[in-house]
Amino acid sequence: MNNDKNKYLTIFLIIGFSSGACVSLIVSSFLDLNIGISISLGAGFGMLLGIVIGSLIDYERQNKDK
C-alpha cells in the first residue's frame, strides 16, 4: 500500500500557507493595510497556489509510475 500518494500536495499546502502569511505580513506593514484581512487573504492565496503546484507534481509522478 502506497501511503505517500499525495506527498507533494501536503508539503506545498503547508509551504503555501506559511509563505502566504509571511508575505502578507510584510506587504501589509508597508502599505498600512488591515492586518487581519491581509493575513487571511495571503494565507488563502498561498494555500491555493500550494494545492495547484502540489497536485500537478503528484499527478505527473503518479502517471510516470504507471
pLDDT category at 65 given cuts 50, 70, 90 is confident
Q: Count CB atoms within 10 A of the CB of residue 40.
A: 14
Contacts of 35 (CB under 8 A, 6+ apart): 25, 28
Q: Is the pLDDT of residue 19 over 80?
A: yes
Rounded to two decimals, the pTM is 0.81
Residue 2 predicted with pLDDT over 80: no
Mean pLDDT of 45-66: 89
Q: What does the pLDDT read at residue 61? A: 85
- Which residue intervals of the chain are DSSP H helices? 7-31, 35-65
Average pLDDT over residues 20-26: 93
Helix 7-31 crosses helix 35-65 at what angle (to 10 degrees)? 160
